[in-house]
Amino acid sequence: MKTLKAKIIPGFMLLIALIPFLTTSCTKETTDLRDQIIGQYSYTVEIFKEDKGDLVYVGDQGTVGDITGTMRITKSTQYTDGLDFYDGNIVMFEAINLKDAGNAIVFDIPTQEAWIGPGSVQVSGYKYWDVNSGSYHGAFIYEDKSVEIAFTARVMDIESGLVMVLTATRN
Q: In terms of C-beta density within 10 A (0-12 exposed, 13-18 middle, 19 or more buried), how is residue 88 classed?
A: exposed
Look at residue 8 and tell me if it is in a domain.
no
Query: pLDDT at position 20, please?
Result: 52
Domain-located, residue 11: no
Q: What is the CATH number of the domain that holds 110?
A: 2.40.128
The range of the structural domain enclosing residue 101 comes to 34-170
The string of pLDDT tens digits covering residues 1-23 is: 443 444 445 554 444 445 555 55
169 neighbors 146 (Cβ within 8 angstroms): yes
Would you say residue 4 lies in a domain?
no
Query: Would you say residue 7 lies in a domain?
Result: no
**Greater model confidence, 61 or 69:** 69
pTM higher than 0.85 for the full model?
Answer: no
d(CA 58, CA 46): 8
- Assigned domain for 14 exists: no
Q: Domain for residue 16, yes or no?
A: no
Number of domains in the chain: 1
Q: Is the pLDDT of residue 43 over 90?
A: yes
